[in-house]
Structure 1
Amino acid sequence: MLDAPTQIQPPAEIVPAKKLGAKVAGLYAAPSDDFQTRPVDRLELGFNGIPGDFHGGSTRRSGGREPWYPRGTEIRNERQVSIVAFDELATIAGLMGLAEIKPEWIGANLVIDGLPNLSMLPSATLLFFAGGVTLKIDAQNGPCRLSGRSIAENAGMADQDAGSLLFPRVAKRLRGLVAWVEKPGVVSAGEEISVRVPEQWIYKA
């Protein structure tokens, strides 16, 4: 007689998947020679991202975020779309002693409203836009000195060097997300978004 199989216990606590709702609160695009963005009414998205955008393309060059590669190595572009939230930008502004930080100052393409703790959405979260576009979240967008310098200049900070250094310190886990286009199409201002958060767990070796 065969013994009954022993139930396999998961190696970590599994947090179930969930569905959330959100809305497009702002759209922005950048000219090919400048990372700062400009407000637009709609974004045309292809498999290469936003056509003509500073961060468009199917590949990109590695930088300081990828120290495991020589700087300038051609790699997959998982940073096609930069996503932020107004409430998190307001928090960062307060920590920097500023009245506001505009999304375009830090090269954002998309502002999403209705999701608490936007920057904490896990990798592989899917954003289904009512118009048919799907974006897949890659990871948090780490704050850098380039964005800090842009904020300091646009906000007219007296000490712009200090401002460029302050932003990376206070904006960690508040600076939003980067995503890539899984299904192309057009995103319009005010569009509804269905958010599918995947199962989550903490890996332990």
Structure 2
Amino acid sequence: MPDLFSTIETPVEIVPGRKLAAMAAALYMAASDHFETRRVEELRLGFDGIEGDFHAGATRRSGGCEPWYARGTEMRNERQLSLVAADELAIVAELMAIAEIKPEWIGANLLIEGVPHLSMLPAGSLLFFKGGVTVKVDAQNGPCRFSGRSVAEHAGMTDHEAGALLFPKAAKRLRGLVAWVEKPGVIRAGEEISVRVPEQWIYRA
């Protein structure tokens, strides 16, 4: 079969897929009425996400991140889980001139160790947990003022509104990922993860 890309003047750049080893360093879930999370030893996941969690559900209502829909439009819930990395949160904290940012403050569900530049994992990446759960990455988690205000309050910043405005700038491309449950089950703290990064196509047409 001929290679169609060889006939294109500016071919699409293709980056091969790869596998990475990681770990679920810590797990968190939120009460059904608030986005902030608390640390737990296990997460029970169904096709709707974490049982009883604030972001559980097969669908959700659109907000400011989906300007193409009227606010409140029912849509697929691709944000069942929030994944973050400690090294990235440390960078954001430094940029905000605060001591730390805890995953709980910004509603994280999984603290992932072992993946360099976690927030840059492409959409479609699969996380295979040793216990049998599979989670699929949808996209980067866009930082918002709502989370920023939580950070400012917990960190003891004098001006909460200034902190709320600073967080989206400091956390851009460092705020982690949103993902959804492809294969349900139970995740336990300290569990090993095999990450499958898909082949990527850099589209420049």
Same fold, TM-score > 0.5, yes or no: yes
Structure 1 counterpart of 2:118, which letter?
L
- Following the alignment from structure 1 to structure 2, what is the Cα–Cα distance between the partners of residues 73 and 146? 20
CA drift of 1:155 comes to 0.7
Residue number in structure 2 paired with 1:65: 65
Q: Per residue, is there more strand in 1 or in 2? A: 2
Structure 1 counterpart of 2:196, which letter?
R
Structure 1 counterpart of 2:5, which letter?
Q
- Following the alignment from structure 1 to structure 2, what is the Cα–Cα distance between the partners of residues 109 and 9? 41
Identity %: 71
TM-score w.r.t. the length of structure 2 is 0.96
Three-state SS of the structure 2 residue aligned to 1:9 is: helix
Question: Is structure 2 residue 24 aligned with structure 1 residue 9?
Answer: no
Worse overlay, 56-65 or 9-18: 9-18
- Following the alignment from structure 1 to structure 2, what is the Cα–Cα distance between the partners of residues 154 and 85? 19
RMSD: 0.9
Residue number in structure 1 paired with 2:52: 52
- Following the alignment from structure 2 to structure 1, what is the Cα–Cα distance between the partners of residues 3 and 107? 50
CA drift of 1:6 comes to 5.2
Structure 2 counterpart of 1:195, which letter?
V
Residue number in structure 1 paired with 2:144: 144
Residue number in structure 1 paired with 2:89: 89
- Following the alignment from structure 1 to structure 2, what is the Cα–Cα distance between the partners of residues 62 and 32? 18
Structure 2 counterpart of 1:67, which letter?
P
- Following the alignment from structure 1 to structure 2, what is the Cα–Cα distance between the partners of residues 192 and 156? 35
Matching of residues 147-162 of structure 1 within 5 Å: 147-162=147-162
Three-state SS of the structure 1 residue aligned to 2:200 is: coil
Contact kept? 2:127, 2:194, Cα under 8 Å: yes
Worse overlay, 7-16 or 91-100: 7-16
Gaps of 5+ in 2: none
Residue number in structure 2 paired with 1:74: 74
Structure 2 counterpart of 1:66, which letter?
E
Counterparts in 2 of 1:7 and 1:135: CA distance versus 1, 3 Å? closer
CA drift of 1:34 comes to 0.4
Question: Would you say how many aligned residue pairs link Structure 1 and Structure 2?
Answer: 201
Question: Is structure 2 residue 190 aligned with structure 1 residue 176?
Answer: no
Q: What does the per-residue CA deviation read over 1:63-105, in whole Å, with 9 as the maximum and x for residues that have no partner?
A: 0000000000000000000000000000000000011000000
Contact kept? 2:13, 2:203, Cα under 8 Å: no
Higher-Rg member (1/2): 1
CA drift of 1:7 comes to 3.7
Contact kept? 2:83, 2:176, Cα under 8 Å: yes
Gaps of 5+ in 1: none
Q: What does the per-residue CA deviation read over 1:40-62, in whole Å, with 9 as the maximum and x for residues that have no partner?
A: 00000000001111000000000
- Following the alignment from structure 1 to structure 2, what is the Cα–Cα distance between the partners of residues 156 and 66? 31
CA drift of 1:124 comes to 0.1
Structure 2 counterpart of 1:51, which letter?
E
TM-score w.r.t. the length of structure 1 is 0.96
Residue number in structure 2 paired with 1:41: 41
